[in-house]
Structure 1
């Protein structure tokens, strides 16, 4: 009966020893011979894990099955990163994540927001291995949906501060980008965290301050622009306050960039949370009121960009 050289586990046969080494020990802990052992059966192990995940996702969502599905998905991501084979199973992972998002969304709406807050507390994105992937963006996707729904149904005061803090962490958490796979997961983190803008005006969480601060950094200015657009959908007046502050901030190097963003606002609501059919829940129609358009034009007129906007701005680009 083979024994694990790294712990006290005894395995029934060679294949179970390989499975134990793969699932219970990080790759960096394994010696060369054991690493070759695992590599020999790696694809079988990861495909089996994904199959297990898919089986969880076929069940009626309950607290237990949903938690088990998230745990399995996290293990799949961690192990594919660890063994540097994310491309081999990428399509199955994306398909499984789509099902997991549906399961999580259903579970949160069925079990209540406390279930989502428990998940948030369990999976802190700052604790994930770097570079990505991790489950933070998957959970953040559901968090963003809940923030938007809560804002529309109950008002900004009802949004849990913990949910805003989670998206803030996703947006600010730094990690290296070393491959195309890393870039996809980083972009996904940002896309789900744009919903942070719907928390504008929250009584205990300074969304406006974060949008302004991150706009000063060229590496995060794109995030601020997209998040500001979402803030306009939630509260155009408060978002205009942010824009006014940005245009007056001489420490910013891309102030003109934010004038372009208003064109997207005038096209109607557009939510970037991946894999969410939000059109089935949220009315796309959105219109800036005349008084607010006048105020926006006054804000620009009082800035150094007054000669760069047309009379039809923000309905036409600068």
Structure 2
């Protein structure tokens, strides 16, 4: 489906490209009326110049949002993407990119979360649609930040309402990021771990999707399964049993002083913190969900026994102490 600019009439295959294009027919609504801005956006400007302009405009837009202009946040996400793109072009070492990404990852993520809490899922669904992780060969650069906000609201919805209240689009987005992220896209892969809170959704099978990608994406699947235990420990232990018993998941992790660790053994790392109250999944970044809701968790005795039986059935207790605890399952 083509998307057309209301101002210049140009047509784009994706909303991402529509959001980011420079419209020559109209003056930027956020430029303060400066005629020099259009000149500064000419193709002759350097990546550093473009980065500095986008960062300055991003600050302005975030300030406008904090003053109540919700629409400014859509433009802020676009400026963040533009600033990251220019930083990447400017400095191939990645230092400039990181200098832009990390401070604004938190600020933009928190602004998106604030907007979603005020306007509901509809706001985030607009952003998800505009920055589709499956539309192009590479993820939009703002993907980790959008995924952070989606993850926060996925957890919030599950805790305060129900799994059915989570939009399918949110689950499809996080799964799409996990599937399409490059192996080196560590931050994007980490920010999707809250996907586990969608386990048991009637219209999107988180369990089936995690099973499908376990062999190729074990470093994302295991921490996502950890999140799933806090959402529904019974559904999560069902999935853990299915995965550990699936011998087609036959990858291994290299270890220096010991034999390689089977992926199926690594999956048990998801149970590391289930018997304590001093360890919680660390994603999404900058969001202490268990503190926001004064969340408590107590593992069911039957779930604990099922995990113990599974460890022994698979023979993974051979390298554990005789009195092993769930902490000993950590990797």
Q: TM-score scaled by structure 2?
A: 0.76
For the Cα contact (< 8 Å) 1:263–1:314, is it kept in 2?
yes
Q: Is the 8 A contact 2:88 2:96 kept in 1?
A: no
Inter-partner Cα distance in structure 2 for 1:222 and 1:92 = 26
Q: Distance in 1 between matches of 2:202 and 2:288?
A: 29
- Consecutive unaligned residues in structure 2, runs of 5 or more: 1-23, 26-34, 251-262
- Is the CA contact 2:125–2:170 (under 8 Å) kept in the aligned structure 1? yes
Change in CA separation of 1:76 and 1:311 when aligned onto 2, cut-off 3 Å: same
Q: State how far apart, in whole Å, the 2-side matches of 1:54 and 1:264 are.
A: 39
CA distance in 1, matches of 2:61, 2:227: 34
SS in structure 2 of the partner of residue 126 of structure 1? coil
How big is each residue's C-alpha offset from its partner over 1:1-43, in whole Å with a ceiling of 9 and x where there is no partner? Answer: xxxxxxx99xxx999656311xxxxxxxxxxxxxxx534xx42
Q: Distance in 2 between matches of 1:296 and 1:99?
A: 39
Tell me how far apart the structure 2 counterparts of residues 103 and 169 of structure 1 sit (CA, whole Å): 23
Structure number with higher helix proportion: 1
1:38 aligns with 2:45: yes
The answer to whether the Cα contact below 8 Å between 1:57 and 1:69 also exists between their aligned partners in 2 is yes
Q: Does 1:263 align with 2:260?
A: no
Structure 1 residues 267, 215: CA separation in 2 closer, same or farther (over 3 Å shift)?
farther
1:62 paired to 2:69: yes
| Aligned residues between the structures | 281
Contact 1:159/1:199 (CA < 8 Å) preserved in 2?
Answer: yes
Give the TM-score of the pair, scaled to structure 1.
0.79
Q: Deviations over 1:272-302 (max 9, x none)?
A: 1112243541335422121221222233343
Post-superposition shift, 1:256?
A: 1.4
| Equivalent of 1:289 in 284, 290, 300 | 300
> Does 2:220 correspond to 1:223?
yes
SS of alignment partner, residue 316 of structure 1: helix
**Cα separation, 2, equivalents of 1:289 and 1:194:** 23
Structure 2 residue 148 is matched with structure 1 residue 141: yes
**Contact residue 106 and residue 286 of structure 2 kept, 8 A:** yes
Any conservation in 2 of the 1:77–1:133 contact (CA below 8 Å)?
Answer: no
Matches within 5 A, 1:227-266: 227-253=224-250, 254-266=263-275
Counterpart-to-counterpart distance in 1, 2:136 and 2:82: 11
Map Cα deviations across residues 164-199 of structure 1 (whole Å, 9 max, x no partner). 000001111043x6xxxxx4xx11111110001111
1:113 aligned to 2:121?
Answer: yes
Find the counterpart in structure 1 of residue 88 from structure 2. Answer: 81
Partner of 1:316: 328
Match of 2:55 among 50, 57, 67: 50
Cα 1:15–1:75 shift into 2, 3 Å? closer
